[in-house]
Structure 1
Amino acid sequence: MAHGSELDCSGHSNDREIETIEEFDDVVGHGSLAGYRVQSVDLTDRTFPLLSLDCTGAVFLGCPMQHDAAVKVRAEGALVFPPVPHLPFDPYRGLLYTADELFAELARGGYEATPDARAYAWFQETKADRDIFASMLRAVHDDAISDALDEHLVGARVVGVMGGHAMARGTAAYEGAARLGRALTRSGFTVATGGGPGAMEAANLGAYAAPHRDEMLPEALELLAKTPSFVPSVSDWAGAALDIRDRWPGGGDSVGIPTWFYGHEPPNAFAGHIAKYFANATREDGLLARSNAGVIFLPGAAGTLQEIFDNATPNYYESRGEPTPMVLVNTAHWTEKLPAWPLLQALAAGRSMESRIALVESVEEAPAALARLGGGLP
């Protein structure tokens, strides 16, 4: 059962979420549904327990159920939020996405037929309409994703790996990011990325490769290099990644946190768990806030630069407690091409975050720098 803590209407913390049919059946065995929150569980075949058990104060979020059951639980004071028809996503979902879920129908209909592409198309349409109901559904969905992400990461030592989406497969930079993801995962960290292509995909690939023999990663990199980018075909790009997973099943877990806000950037298939958001600001802050063991910044452009200072701000004010380590990789990039490092140094001078930042030349140096700065301490 999920163990996300929440507040009930009286302000008391509880731990009473049900997110699968197995969890529902387990709770039913204890004789009461009073006070539980049931998230996106199909209860059409569970009419008897719904009719027979106490449902006082329960909340049913997007749970299909028979009419008699719905009438009875409402009469007991339960709140029933019915499923929303004709949506390409579930706003009440209780679990993170998987690549197989987001890329379903890829082989038969191409990327445009996938749930991921259809959700983006819905987002574009409703955003243009300025529909208040649609914006409410997006907010409910993103809050449910945040809850699922927190539950998934309980106790994890999370290292964020940030970097540009333009980093192509087949390049030395992509290979380096993949080796970094593998090294971090083998050291016991959970790698978290922005969940998209480029450096993000490479780090998630490295995490996926961690349980496999060392030779697996260069072999996978060679195969992926045949489809270097998601342009011009997302279908070919995603299909190549799914082929790698089929060839080497049982990869290591990592987290991808992408967004439909950047619809031209599809999610990568190597993250074991995907927290996809409609609101990019929620996604950005959430990714950095959950990187409790530190953040490694690979070369990137505007998005990565924004993430550096998005992370520096709470470190500067210590608004999240002890500043988390920040490691910037590639001296020339961060001192000459995009000179974020001098500004970061000036910002950190005289504050506790000064001892928590480092600039290194290569990805091979990043894990040691992270450890030197105190990385790994949530």
Structure 2
Amino acid sequence: MAQHVLMKLSNGGCSCCDPPSAPGIAIDGSVGRGGRNLPNDVRTIQAALNNVSSADGGPTLKLAVDGFVGPLTIAAIEKYQTRKLGWADGRIDPDGPTIHALNGQSSGVAAPAKGGAAPTPPPKATAEQNAKFVERIGALLPRARHWISMAQLNIDMASDFVRRGPPGRSDPFPSLHDIGKSQLGLFDKYFHTGKHSNETKLQQLHKAKRIYDSMNTVITHSLLEAPMFGWGVGYFQPDPADGTLAALNYVAYTFYGGWQARRPDGRPRLSGDDNYKGRKDLREDTIFFPVGQLLTKTDNYMLETILHELAHFVGPGVKSPDRIGDHTYDTKADFLTVNNWTALHTAECYGYFAAESALRSTITIPIH
């Protein structure tokens, strides 16, 4: 399995894809056979396919960028899918493998946006703004560590409550028996362990605790290194694609298990060491931020984003079935109702559990 970056999108979602390297395309609905085929989306796909050479899967004859799906457009989609993916269903979905392949292969010519106008690149931070932003991240890390510590404390209290079991008739301190019950309730809100046995609950509490333990190690290491080397060499860095169309729809990205991704000689792995498209010089032990889009974001928004990306960063690598992915997120209707396994493997759940643990009140979802 090839490594990918985990990219937190501007709308709150997250996507597993190759690192940004060229102008990206996005569609609101599926295009092609059985798709919604919104005219603007169709024009976007037609233009994107036209930007691919025929030898590399593009249409033999350029498509008319007219917003209508006909047999030539479907045939062009199928040709591209067969060439790039090894299969074809004639449809391109908004977050599917075909559009990720097109984004990774983009020739740099932007597809038309609504109304046929070219999309506008996001703001690009200046060198001074980049430096101040990285310093801001550094200043937020003690608070991020507090969020993590409160998540750890709540897990410990919930675990103690589960171990105690129901109170006995001779319990000398019945008023103290429910200590940890509300903490378990908060864990259940985000990770849904309620129907499992106490043994399974303890295993899952311990598993989540290990993720937060590793987050805490990363942040502590950052805080210790900063006085010696400055924030400019830490785990948190400006995105090299900041200010380009490639950075239009995301607010952060990192790598599965990137924290401990090393070459045999001990040096950090680079994106070129693995099966990537696009840039080859991205360090895998880094979380990247398109600074221009984040200058006005609130501290709580940034803190939750940091913890979200840390869950990917410290979790298992891409080949592990236990890697922390993005099966749901805070702008989806199912965010608080997915099943137990899904929640335990979703970065957004770790970010929000820590946020509510630290802020000690029900928080607004999504965080702004």
Q: TM-score, normalised by structure 2?
A: 0.26
Q: TM-score, normalised by structure 1?
A: 0.25
